[in-house]
Each structure stands twice: as structure tokens, then as C-alpha cells.
Structure 1
Amino acid sequence: MSNILVVDDSPAVLKIVRLALSSQGHEIIICESGESALDILKSNTKIKLGIFDFNMPGINGLELIQKSKKTMSGTKLKILILSVESKPEIISKALFEGADAWIVKPFKNEDLINKVNELLEEHDSV
């Protein structure tokens, strides 16, 4: 299936997302910081989807969106944000900066799987 990078400073969220998506046959790469995520993106051009937390120490979600798009320019990297944030102005800013979708935590695994499948279908059809 697809290579997916999951970035969250919560080990519990990383575990939930990894289990939900690996059960669908995806190759899941996890890390706990934006800095690590950028290193992984630089060395792994097969990543089709990034799932990022928005509120993280160091490089936050918004910066990670911006830097990921620059790092992966020339690819069709899709970005899904998972966050407790639900304010429309924050979501709008993230989408404007390059995120493709937003899911509010807590989330249902089924909703996550459906959104991931939708984004990967878009990735492959472009």
C-alpha cells in the first residue's frame, strides 16, 4: 500500500494511528517531533501522506506543513492534520498553508481510515 509518516508528541496517539492504518496494509513511519519528521521526509521520497499533530513543541504543525511542502516540492505529498484544535480560523490557516484535510481529536478509527483512503486516492489520481 502506501508509505505514511505520522508525527505526534503523544505516544498513545502514535500507537492508535499506527495500529489503525497498518491494519489496512500501509507502511507507517512514526516520530515524535517536527524536526525528526523533516529529516525523514528528506531521506524518504516514497512517503505519500503526512499525518501531523498541530500543537507540538519545537516545530509546530503550521511550520511543519510549510517546511514539508518545501522539502517535498516536486512530489504530491498529502497532509492530514490531527488536532484537538477546532477553531475555524486555525483550520483555515492550516489549509491555506498546504494541509489537505483536518480531523479533530478524539477521532474514530473508521473516520481516520476513510480520510486517509480519500487522500491517497487523490494523491494517486493527480
Structure 2
Amino acid sequence: MGKKILIVDDAKTIRQQVTFTLTKSGFEVIEAESGKDGIALLNAHRDIDAIISDINMPEMNGIEMIIAIKSNTNLPHPPILILTTEGATDIVAQAKKAGASGWIVKPFKPEILVEAVKRLTGS
């Protein structure tokens, strides 16, 4: 099995598109629908190689999730790619400051997403 990727997005259709795109390219994908779910899954699956996260989600948004992961020494710290409709430079800056490794704006091109994930995971 390929590298394990966690996709965190409240939109089921986006999770399905990302899962389809990445599994077709040999990645294993786990899905979460909020930042809180994402943290729980990261804690349960400590071998996750990268996280792809939306910013705008209920319960805990993507930036809050990044901060929670990076500040918790008991959690693994895989690279985090932001996949969102947000393109505002201040939000991009907040995500980078929190610890995001990269940024892709929706709608995404499958080949760009796969290339970014390969770079992040060294595959």
C-alpha cells in the first residue's frame, strides 16, 4: 500500500474527489469531516504521511486544527496541505504561520494535487 493521506473537509463531494484522485495514484486515503475528526484520526493512525485540509469547516477550522496538531507533542506532525476555496493572502499567511506546508485552491486539477502530495511525502 502507498503512503497514507488524511483528507479533512466537511464537503463529502470534495473528500470523494480527493480520495478517488489519490487512490488512483497509489495512495491510501482516510477521510475526516472536521478538524476535530482529523485530530482523532491522526491520533488513531499514527502512520499518516500527509494531511490535506480545508480551511472553512464546522467545529474546528483548518487553521485551528493545524495549530492544535503542531502544539501537541504527543501527535505526529506530518506535512499539511491546504485545499480550499479561500485565496485571500491574509488567510494564506495565517495558515503558513500555523504550519501549513502548501496551498491549493479549489477547484483543483487532479495532476497538481497528486504532484503536491508526492512532493510532501517524498514519493
| Band the TM-score falls in, shorter-chain normalisation | over 0.9
Paired residues of 2:43 and 2:75 also in contact (CA < 8 A): no
Question: CA distance change for structure 1 residues 72 and 24 in 2, over 3 Å: closer, same or farther?
Answer: farther
Match of 1:90 in 2: 91
Q: More displaced, 85-94 or 62-71?
A: 62-71
Q: Secondary structure at the match of 1:5?
A: strand
Q: Secondary structure at the match of 2:49?
A: strand
Match of 1:79 in 2: 80
Question: CA distance change for structure 1 residues 24 and 71 in 2, over 3 Å: closer, same or farther?
Answer: farther
Equivalent runs, 1:1-16 vs 2, <5 Å? 1-16=2-17
Paired residues of 1:42 and 1:72 also in contact (CA < 8 A): no
Paired residues of 2:54 and 2:84 also in contact (CA < 8 A): yes
**Cα distance, 1:89 vs structure 2:** 1.2
State the TM-score, normalized to the length of structure 2. 0.92
Matched, 1:49 2:50: yes
Q: In 2, Cα distance between the equivalents of 1:117 and 1:23?
A: 13
Matched, 1:112 2:113: yes
Match of 1:20 in 2: 21
Question: CA distance change for structure 1 residues 75 and 46 in 2, over 3 Å: closer, same or farther?
Answer: same
Deviations along 1:31-83, one digit per CA (max 9) or x if unpaired, are 11111111111111100101001000110011011112234667451000001
State the TM-score, normalized to the length of structure 1. 0.90
Q: Secondary structure at the match of 1:47?
A: coil
Q: Compute the RMSD of aligned alpha carbons.
A: 1.6
Q: In 2, Cα distance between the equivalents of 1:65 and 1:74?
A: 11
Task: Give the aligned residue type for 1:39.
Answer: A
Deviations along 1:4-36, one digit per CA (max 9) or x if unpaired, are 100101010000000000011111000111111
- The number of residues matched between the two structures is 122
